[in-house]
Chains A and B, each alone.
Chain A
Amino acid sequence: MYRTKFFDHVILLSGVFLMVGPLLVALMTSSHEAADIHRNGLSILPGGHFIETYETVLTKEGGFTGKITGLRMMMNSLILGLGFAAGKVLLSMLAAYALVYFRFRFATITFWMIFTTLLLPLEVRILPSYEVMNTLHLTNTYTGLIVPLLASATGTFYFRQFFKSIPDELLEAARIDGAGPFKFFIDVIVPLSKTMMAAIFIIMFVYGWNQYLWPTLMTTEEGFFTLVRGIKQILLVWVGSNIPDYNQAFALAILAMLPPVMIVMIFQRWFIKGLTESDK
Chain B
Amino acid sequence: MAQINITNVSKIYAGGVEAVKSVSLDIADGEFIVLVGPSGCGKSTLLRMVAGLEAISKGTVEIGDRVINDIEPAERDIAMVFQNYALYPHMTVYNNLAYGLKNRGTPKAEIDARVAEAARMLEIEPYLTRKPRALSGGQRQRVAMGRAIVRKPAAFLFDEPLSNLDAKLRVTMRGEIKQLQKRLGTTSLYVTHDQLEAMTLADRLVVLNGGQIEQIGRPLDVYHTPASTFVASFIGSPAMNLLRATREGSRLHFGSQVLESDRLSALPTELTIGIRAEDLRVARAGEQSLTMKVDYIEELGAQRLVHGMLDGKKLTAALSPEIELSDTIALTIAPSRLHFFDVTTGKRLAQIVDGAVGKREDTGALEMAGG
Residues of A at the B interface (CB closer than 8 Å) are: 167, 169-170, 172-179, 183, 187-188, 191-192, 279-280
On chain B, the residues within 8 Å of A177 by CB distance are 74, 99-100, 103, 147
Does B72 make an interface contact (CB < 8 A)? yes
Q: In the complex, what residue of chain A is closest to B86 when comparing beta carbons?
A: A169
Contact A176 B89 (CB under 8 A): no
Q: In the complex, what residue of chain A is closest to B79 when comparing beta carbons?
A: A176
Contact B78 A176 (CB under 8 A): yes
Contact A172 B53, CB 8 Å, known A279-B89, A280-B89: yes
Contact A176 B51 (CB under 8 A): yes
Does B80 make an interface contact (CB < 8 A)? yes
A-B contact pairs, 28 of them (CB 8 A): A169-B82, A169-B84, A169-B85, A169-B86, A172-B51, A172-B73, A172-B86, A173-B80, A173-B82, A173-B87, A174-B99, A175-B53, A175-B73, A176-B73, A176-B80, A176-B100, A177-B74, A177-B147, A178-B100, A178-B103, A178-B104, A179-B74, A183-B103, A188-B90, A191-B90, A192-B89, A279-B89, A280-B89
What is the CB-to-nearest-CB distance from B170 to chain A, in angstroms, rounded to a whole number?
19
Q: In the complex, what residue of chain A is closest to B74 when comparing beta carbons?
A: A178
Does B254 make an interface contact (CB < 8 A)? no
Contact residue among B78, B79, B88 (Cβ-Cβ distance under 8 Å from A188)? B88
On chain B, the residues within 8 Å of A170 by CB distance are 86, 88
**CA gap between A96 and B84 in the complex, in Å:** 24
Which B residues between 85 and 113 are near A, CB-CB below 8 angstroms? Answer: 85-91, 99-100, 103-104
Contact B86 A179 (CB under 8 A): no
Q: In the complex, what residue of chain B is closest to A194 when comparing beta carbons?
A: B90
Contact B78 A187 (CB under 8 A): no
On chain B, the residues within 8 Å of A175 by CB distance are 52-53, 72-74
On chain A, the residues within 8 Å of B99 by CB distance are 174, 177, 179, 187
On chain B, the residues within 8 Å of A183 by CB distance are 103
Contact residue among A167, A191, A192, A279 (Cβ-Cβ distance under 8 Å from B86)? A167
Q: In the complex, what residue of chain B is closest to A192 when comparing beta carbons?
A: B90
What is the CB-to-nearest-CB distance from B112 to chain A, in angstroms, rounded to a whole number?
17
Contact B84 A279 (CB under 8 A): no
On chain B, the residues within 8 Å of A188 by CB distance are 88, 90
**Given A175-B53, A176-B53; 11 other pairs, CB 8 A cutoff:** A172-B53, A172-B82, A174-B88, A175-B73, A175-B74, A176-B74, A179-B99, A187-B88, A188-B90, A191-B90, A192-B89
Nearest 9 Cβ contacts at the A-B interface: A169-B86, A178-B74, A177-B100, A178-B103, A191-B90, A173-B86, A169-B82, A175-B73, A176-B73
**CA gap between A167 and B73 in the complex, in Å:** 18
**CA gap between A279 and B78 in the complex, in Å:** 28
What is the CB-to-nearest-CB distance from B162 to chain A, in angstroms, rounded to a whole number?
15
Q: In the complex, what residue of chain A is closest to B100 when comparing beta carbons?
A: A177
**CA gap between A192 and B53 in the complex, in Å:** 22
Contact A167 B53, CB 8 Å, known A175-B73, A178-B74, A192-B90: no
Contact B53 A279 (CB under 8 A): no
Contact A172 B89, CB 8 Å, known A177-B74, A183-B103: no
On chain B, the residues within 8 Å of A169 by CB distance are 82-86
Contact residue among A172, A174, A279 (Cβ-Cβ distance under 8 Å from B90)? A279
Which B residues between 40 and 71 are near A, CB-CB below 8 angstroms? Answer: 51-53
On chain A, the residues within 8 Å of B73 by CB distance are 172, 175-176
What is the CB-to-nearest-CB distance from A127 to chain B, in angstroms, rounded to a whole number?
44
**B 264-298 binary contact with A (CB < 8 Å = 1; else 0):** 00000000000000000000000000000000000
**CA gap between A191 and B88 in the complex, in Å:** 10
On chain A, the residues within 8 Å of B79 by CB distance are 176
On chain B, the residues within 8 Å of A279 by CB distance are 89-90
